[in-house]
Amino acid sequence: MATKCDIGLVMAGAVSAGAYTAGVLDFFVQALDEWQLARDQQDPSAPPQQINLKVITGASAGGMSAAILAGVLAGRPYQPIGNVDPGTQVSDNVLFQSWVNDIDIEPLLGLSDLQTPQPLMSLLDSSVLDQIADKALTPEQTTARKPWVDDNLELLLTLGNLRGIPYNIPFAEDNSGEPTQDRPGHGMRQHRDYLHFSFAAASSAVTHTLDWQGQHANWGLLRQGALATGAFPLGLKPRDIPQSGEFYDHRSYQTEGPGKLDNGDCLCVIEPEIQPAWGGTSPADYQFVSVDGGVFDNEPYELARARLNANKPEVLSADQTTRFMLAIDPFPDTKNFASEEYKKPDSLLAVLLNLINAMKNQGRFKPAELATAARHISASRRIIAPSRDGTKPDQSPIASGLLGGFSGFLERSFRFHDFMLGRANAQQFLRDHFTLPPENQLISQWTDAQRLAHSNNAGQCPVIPLFGSAMDEVIVPAWPKMQQQRIDKLQKLVKKRINKMLPELFKIVVPGNSGFRKLAVWVSRLTQTGDWTKRGFKIVIQQLQDNDLISK
């Protein structure tokens, strides 16, 4: 019987660099489909181990990609992208259509959200995101689901829960009683949240059920969750999440607990269930507004690792592990601290910006993951990050890496480049880096012919060997450039949106129908027409020029 190889995918937040993540996923699906086809055709060079995609976690753009991928895995018609640009209307590749063709700054600068009497909820028009979600995540007739996916595949999308989940640290009033949540103590709120889906046939107290036929009502919740995890704070519209308090009653948190080794007592990692302090029974209707899941958890490693290992110890050595956590991270942030130039905040605004950044980074700090990784470099943890030949030391390999990750929205050619770079990096990763020694049980069952066909010069063998079209070298397009005419057009759209948006902004700042508010709107419009937009675009143009992304 073929040895099973469990895989968990972790997709980090990426803003417009979701195009890169989508390209990685596109090649991943292609490679596994081609290998499965070779096996079905009894190709003697096809190794026997069985890939089992067990869990997918994602934050922000990574969470949106995870949700789109779920439909592909369920059997949505899908064809990978070749080396030729397929154009602006691609009906059989929802990842490409969503991340390269449909998402763009022009509709984000539209006015659809300002045509209704609803209060202003975001600086950009999020209507296009609803349209993309409708096309990408609306259930449709599916073919057979992918055979290399676990029957009970789990899908987790991180959320920034603005309401918060209440918890209490109880303190003793005397020497009796159990430490229950309703005892007097210190109250806290957990805002680092997630939606948990599962394709398991049996219902679960902590997961929302999805079906492989794409007909369950929870596919609608997945659509809403995808929009919520990608709701960049202030920039994009936050989303309402309908939820029951019962989903939190059995949620576990990783902590230290008592354990024992042969050489004596120790502290071991446990995951106890912690009951929220609901002040009674858990509410049947616990609704909350969610912003971007990357605010508090931009790389949900621990969510994937806990479910991938299923309460088993993580196997670290390359000759023994059969479980792998693959991270796709367009912005891995591997800067050398020693070469970092510290700029001390020297004004009130600078302190505020530093504070916001510090709170974000602290919310994303993962001591449990840090402690686990510090014990040993684990062969079960691998990462796919952007790499491009000819990139300067201080230049991002992806065109979407500027302006806080928003630059990809400016130009389709940026997104197409990054999608294809994702495909190329995924091919190189599977061929050259995602390998194991021959003594690993996944490889030890290979025939001599299979080793000869796939092993590298060091005798290492790929976990996912390449077959068919996946062997064709992926060509990365030339470094893209934006035309000045495009900049001029976007500048006009920005002015138009600001002019339309200013009255709505001042309704929030200056409530009531006052003459002062009208005067403030008039002065602001006059100022922004001559200054705000120009200043902003000077920064944009300078960054594009510094990275050779604009035609001279």
Q: Splitting the chain (552 residues) into consecutive groups of 10 residues, what average pLDDT does each group show?
A: 89 95 98 96 94 97 96 92 95 96 96 87 94 85 85 96 91 62 77 94 82 89 96 95 90 64 54 83 92 93 88 80 94 75 86 86 79 73 92 85 92 97 98 94 92 90 96 96 93 88 73 61 58 80 91 80
| Pairing state between β 288-291 and 255-261 | unpaired
Residue 279 corresponds to which amino acid?
A: G
Tokens standing for residue 304: 């994937």
Q: Tell the residue number behind the tokens 């792998």, with chain if given.
A: 324
Residue 75 corresponds to which amino acid?
A: G
Tokens standing for residue 228: 């919520």
Torsional class of 306: left (φ above 0), alpha (ψ -120 to 50), beta (otherwise): alpha
Residue 256: enclosing H or E segment and its boundaries?
strand 255-261
| Pairing state between β 288-291 and 149-170 | antiparallel
- Give residues with Cβ within 8 angstroms of 267, minimum separation 6: 256, 257, 258, 259
Q: What are phi and psi of 546, to 5 degrees?
A: -60, -25
Tokens standing for residue 192: 């680092």
The predicted structure's pLDDT at residue 530: 52
| Pairing state between β 264-270 and 50-58 | unpaired
The predicted structure's pLDDT at residue 33: 97
Q: What are phi and psi of 198, to 5 degrees?
A: -150, 145
Q: Are 192 and 292 in contact (CB under 8 A)?
A: no
The predicted structure's pLDDT at residue 517: 56
Could you tell me the end-to-end alpha-carbon distance of the chain, in angstroms, rounded to an integer? 61
| Pairing state between β 435-436 and 288-291 | unpaired
Q: Are 471 and 462 in contact (CB under 8 A)?
A: no
